Amino acid sequence: METRYLLLLCLFISLEYAANGKVLKGTLQTNSDWTFFTRFCFLSKTGNFSYKVSYPERYGVQSFLLYYDTANQWEAVYPATDKSCTQKKEALDKNGNQEIRLDCTRSEINGELYYVCDHFRTFISARERWWYIALSKCVTAAGETPGMYLEYEIHMTNGDIEDYLHREYSADEFYIAPIAIAFLLANCVLLVLAIICAVILRARYLFHTTYKIFMFSLATWVLYLFLWSIGYGSYGNNGLEERLRQVKTAGHVFESLYEISFLLLLVLMAKGYTITRGRLTNISTIKVAIFFTLYVFAYAILIIWEPMFFDAGKVLYIYESPPGYGLIAMRIIGWLMFLYSFIFTIKHYPNKKIFFIPFFIFYTFWFWAGPIIILLAVLVMAEWTREKTVFGVEAFVAFCGHAFFLILTRPSAANKNFPYHVRTTQIGMMVESEQNADKTDLGEFADNPYAVSSENSSNSSGGPDLSYFVVSKERSKVSETESYIPQNNER
């Protein structure tokens, strides 16, 4: 019951997007004699397909053809363009009641005779099964208008009227809404904690650029989960698919921002930015800029390509389509850049292995968890379980990635777990000093313990007392002379 109340709350918030299982309303007009209409994954005994349709009698008798997801039915007729309407119709089981003739009654509408149907069909299958609905008129008699025309309102459901978590959803969409809401709440907690930490780090002059990128990534992910909670929450209440598609499209924008910003964060950290150096060298900056320019451009093409060329008759969800394959490849390419940056940083700063090796291992999991679960979904999972499983895993991986970073950078042990041992004000002074010395690159940070000593936390630098960052007395014994000035022999 609590989950239902949460879903209803999302619906209340999103009345603008309120959209019924799957409801389709509109008008179809085509010159073809057979066309794919829609699809739905029905449960074994509780599926219901109700329809209200009307069309002029002059078009002749039209029919709904109901194909299920087997090689000798749907796969045999779609997208087989070399087969006639009659051949596609012959693929149906003649004893399966898979043809619905739409000539129920005749009514006069605006002075013209119309065929009108208001009926329903219950689906009983041996298992959860995809059903594909096509509209057809295989024979055009003399005097009839060629092509097809249909004014329709279709409603497809699973479960009883009180079954809020199942009724309005295709079987492949079950539990996406509760998963989205659960992770939305969890990530909102992370965001609040991140804001608290940011305030503390800012007061201590440790609010570095990498932490700002982390907060942007977390905020965009929260917005993505919010939109999906809103979209699927309202869809579960009454269900217009077009509204859900609009909300999901907006959500994918924020998902893309999260993906790209978090990848940027990981690559910068792997290069040692704000960890071993205050800024990247000119060569590294150019490499990162070129890589992410190409990455963003390719990512944008894939995201735009997906809704424009997505064919629901052939593809069940995004990761079974060419754009989906491209997104998987982009994640692997990002990991290769992450690996490249990590190797060169470890080579030049072997003393930082205590931080970088666990960091690399954990975030390799972030990169590879998605592609691995997608591969498993294709190989071993039933088709109607793939989308919700992949969505749940991606939400879990994103949560772990943000939570791990937040733990690393928590103010109570930031200098023990994460080498924020240089203040933002001191990086600025180092840059100014280097410019005055006519140098082109900011030198690496001095090789010192990560803890901030009580001597170095005095107000002489203009910042507040940082002595409570100290983890142990041994780590806090850093001399004034070796504090945050780059050494001349370190390049």
Least confident of 172-176, 293-297, 302-306: 302-306
The Cα 366–Cα 201 span in angstroms is 26
**pLDDT (tens digit per residue) in 406-426:** 888 777 765 565 655 555 555
Element (H, E) at 105: strand 105-109
What residues pair up with 155 in beta bridges, in sequence order? 23, 50
The token pair that represents 408 in the structure block: 């690393």
Instruction: Average the pLDDT over 377-388 and give the result.
Output: 82
Across 110-226, the runs of DSSP E, i.e. the strands, are: 112-123, 129-136, 148-158
Amino acid identity, position 441: D
Instruction: Average the pLDDT over 156-167 and give the result.
Output: 75
Instruction: Average the pLDDT over 48-61 and give the result.
Output: 93
* Domain spans of the chain, in order of start: 23-158, 172-417
**pLDDT (tens digit per residue) in 346-367:** 988 888 888 888 899 999 999 9
Report H helices in 409-483: 414-417, 424-436, 473-476
Mean pLDDT of the chain: 78
The Cα 465–Cα 140 span in angstroms is 87
pLDDT score, position 484:
36
Q: Is the pLDDT of residue 448 over 80?
A: no
**pLDDT (tens digit per residue) in 186-204:** 999 999 999 998 898 888 7
The more confident residue out of 172 and 420 is 172
Contact between 19 and 234 (Cβ < 8 Å): yes
CATH class of 172-417: mainly alpha
Helical packing angle, 282-309 and 322-348, nearest 10°: 170
DSSP assignment of 447-458 equals ---SSPPTTTTS
- Domain range 23-158, CATH architecture: Sandwich (2.60)
The more confident residue out of 215 and 381 is 215
Least confident of 161-165, 180-184, 233-237: 161-165
The Cα 22–Cα 389 span in angstroms is 21
Percent of the chain's residues with pLDDT above 90: 34
Least confident of 246-250, 463-467, 484-488: 463-467
Q: Is the pLDDT of residue 341 over 50?
A: yes
Instruction: Average the pLDDT over 252-281 and give the result.
Output: 87
Phi, psi angles (nearest 5°) of residue 238: -145, -20
**Helix, strand, or coil here: 325?**
helix
**pLDDT (tens digit per residue) in 101-155:** 999 999 998 889 999 999 988 877 777 888 899 999 998 888 899 999 999 999 8
